């Protein structure tokens, strides 16, 4: 419940930032930016699953090809009380998994060959239950809303920078010699998208904690996922997904990147050690 409240609170912060920037342009500027951002994200919302699956060359597997996986997914989907999602396989040594699709009725769970080879049945159940929680809670929708608002913030902030530099908005300020006003506008235009990104990442991290908790309840044992996360942390370090796109890293159950790079400063995932501790403290 606390994490859900935090998620809605952070979405509210994004909205406030967006409305505040829009105030510089009046109603027409705000509406134009929102329409532009929503149009781009509408495409992403309805076709994101196909785009991501194609990006990683994922292949759908039928029940006669992978009866073992289909049996696990069927069992856990029944426990989660959602339709059984399609199963896709990604040919990669990196042990990882993600869920995509805008609703439980057209969802997909994608698993790498690396994760299938690395985890035992109980650990695999923990991972799949985690992904089913993302599907059940419609986390793709939450992420899309956040991305839409953050995208509009970035778009408006760039317009602010443009106007500040070329004087279409600050002619009065220049006449009055208000250089401090121009500096404030530029700083805000630069910092607003960064703030939006940070809030986006915070939302993503909150959803991961919720999915861990929900997955533990679905498979009725939090240690299944805790043990899986330990193995996945080691596996990703040993076999990092070098072809992973940073824009899709938030989809995976663990970050596909390895080591302390600039990407870890903006990680969409909470620390694995903290996730494991929370799971081990759970009492079902």
- Residues noted as catalytic: 131
DSSP character for 266?
G
Q: How far apart are CA 27 and CA 29, in angstroms?
A: 6
Sort 207 into a burial class: Cβ within 10 Å, 0-12 / 13-18 / 19+: buried
Please tell me whether residue 100 adopts helix, strand or coil conformation: strand
Q: What is the CA radius of gyration of the chain?
A: 21
Q: How far apart are CA 270 and CA 99, in angstroms?
A: 18
Handedness of CA 226, 279, 250, 88 (dihedral sign): positive
Q: How far apart are CA 251 and CA 107, in angstroms?
A: 13
Residue in this structure with the two tokens 């699709």, named with its chain if needed: 101
CA distances for 192 relative to 17, 145, 170, 201, 244, angstroms: 7, 17, 19, 14, 27
């Amino acid at each position: 419940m606390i994490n859900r409240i935090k998620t809605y609170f952070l979405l509210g912060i994004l909205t406030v930032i967006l409305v505040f920037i829009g105030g510089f342009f009046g109603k027409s500027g705000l509406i134009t930016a929102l329409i532009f951002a929503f149009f781009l994200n509408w495409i992403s919302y309805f076709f994101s699953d196909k785009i991501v699956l194609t990006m990683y060359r994922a292949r759908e597997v039928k029940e006669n090809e992978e009866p073992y996986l289909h049996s696990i997914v069927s069992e856990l989907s029944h426990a989660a009380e959602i339709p059984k999602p399609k199963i896709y396989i990604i040919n990669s040594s990196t042990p990882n998994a993600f869920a995509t699709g805008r609703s439980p009725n057209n969802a997909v769970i994608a698993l790498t060959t690396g994760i299938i080879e690395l985890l035992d049945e109980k650990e695999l159940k923990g991972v799949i239950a985690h992904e089913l929680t993302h599907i059940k809670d419609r986390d793709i929708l939450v992420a899309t809303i956040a991305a839409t608002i953050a995208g509009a913030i970035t778009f408006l902030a760039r317009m602010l920078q443009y106007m500040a530099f070329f004087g279409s908005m600050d002619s009065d300020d220049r006449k009055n010699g208000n250089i401090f006003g121009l500096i404030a506008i530029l700083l805000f235009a630069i910092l607003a998208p960064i703030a939006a990104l940070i809030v986006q990442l915070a939302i993503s991290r909150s959803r991961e904690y919720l999915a861990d908790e929900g997955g533990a309840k679905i498979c009725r044992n939090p240690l299944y996922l805790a043990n899986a996360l330990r193995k996945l942390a080691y596996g990703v370090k040993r076999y990092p997904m070098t072809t992973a796109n940073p824009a899709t890293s938030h989809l995976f159950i663990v970050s596909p990147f390895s080591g302390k790079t600039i990407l870890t400063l903006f990680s969409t995932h909470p620390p694995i050690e903290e996730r494991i501790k929370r799971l081990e403290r759970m009492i079902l």
